[in-house]
Amino acid sequence: MRIVFANSAWVSAAERLILRGGGWQSVRLRVRYGLIFHPAAGPVLIDTGYTPEALLGERRGRMLRLYSALLKPQLNVDEQVLPVLRRFGLSLDDIRAVVVTHFHADHISGLSLFRNARFIASDAAWARVKARSSRQNLRHGVFTELFPADFDARLDGISAKPRVAAHGDTPGGADLFGDGSVIAVDLPGHADGQFGLLFNGLDRPLLYAVDVQWLLSALIEKRTPGFPATLIAEDAAAIEPTSAMLRRFLAAGGEVMLCHDPAPTPYDLAPEAA
């Protein structure tokens, strides 16, 4: 099974906002999404990253327009979903499943592009989205206009997936494809229903830990940012226990990858030759 990650956009933030004790210098963060080539499920997308639909689309509400104006993401045109799929000889319609790790805009903004895909996501978190008002969802960082109208009908909830037990310092979770190759690991703290993906079939187990932290150094060095970063966390008290679990996984020989850390990884898509 092959795994690659692309960078949909860059977002700049002051280091002290994302790393406790950091300086005022700007850090240029990636906004990753992934592509799994699974032997049975075929090509599967992990989130969508930022797309023009979220940043420039006509369907955006006033608050989503304000969100993009404040964060000012810079789209990476070469690594948007469509050109990346073309690099592998794929089209949007070839993607039959999109794993949605959580419902923030930089992870779901391109869902409407995928007309034939089922959405593997937290059905418990989705039930809460449906139960809340639009204003309440905004307080949770959820912009409902980014969901396809038939998201509910195409939802493949992780609660129905078989569970794999934790083994030592390797966490357990929901077995997404029934073969133990990709496990959805609960990662509370940053967002309602956030889960990461544990890839067991690699030489070194990889846990894609999404947005547990913005920087790998914040995780490894126990430099979780405090106020005001904690204001946007779903459950700020859960961030450190989740981070501690990831540090144990690292100490046991695993590898952790984050959505926004700027450092390149072996799984990041190589630039196309000129």
Q: What is the sign of the dihedral through the CA atoms of 70, 189, 167 and 179?
A: negative
- State mean pLDDT over 223-244: 91
Cβ atoms within 10 Å of 118's Cβ, excluding its own: 16
Tell me the residue ranges of DSSP E strands in the chain: 2-14, 26-38, 42-46, 74-75, 97-99, 118-121, 155-157, 163-164, 173-175, 182-186, 195-199, 206-208, 255-257
Both tokens assigned to 216: 């790998």
Q: State yes or no: pLDDT of 44 exceeds 60.
A: yes
Please report the pLDDT score of residue 55 as a whole number. 81
Q: State yes or no: pLDDT of 163 exceeds 80.
A: yes
* 257-272 pLDDT tens trace: 999 999 999 999 987 7
Both tokens assigned to 257: 């990858």
* C-alpha atoms less than 13 angstroms from C-alpha of 7 in its C-beta half-sphere: 21
54 within 8 A of 146, measured Cβ to Cβ: yes
Show the domains of the chain with their CATH numbers. 2-257 (3.60.15.10)
Please report the pLDDT score of residue 273 as a whole number. 56
Beta bridge partners of 164: 173
Q: Which helix (H) or strand (E) holds 108?
A: helix 105-108
Contact partners, residue 244, CB within 8 Å, separation at least 6: none
pLDDT band, residue 213 (cuts 50/70/90):
very high
Q: What CA–CA distance (Å, rounded) separates 241 from 245?
A: 6
Q: What CA–CA distance (Å, rounded) separates 183 from 165?
A: 10
Q: What CA–CA distance (Å, rounded) separates 15 from 260?
A: 13
pLDDT band, residue 149 (cuts 50/70/90):
very high
Please report the pLDDT score of residue 53 as a whole number. 80
Q: What CA–CA distance (Å, rounded) separates 200 from 202?
A: 6
Please report the pLDDT score of residue 271 as a whole number. 79
Please report the pLDDT score of residue 118 as a whole number. 98
180-205 as b/e, with b when 16 or more CB fall inside 10 Å?
A: ebbbbbbbbbbbbbbbbbbbbeeeeb
100 within 8 A of 107, measured Cβ to Cβ: yes
Report how far apart, in Å, the C-alpha atoms of 163 and of each of 57, 65, 172 are: 38, 39, 7
* 73-107 pLDDT tens trace: 999 999 999 999 999 999 999 999 999 999 999 99
**Least reliable range by pLDDT among 59-68, 197-206, 248-257:** 59-68
Residue from 206, 191, 204 nearest 36 by CA? 206
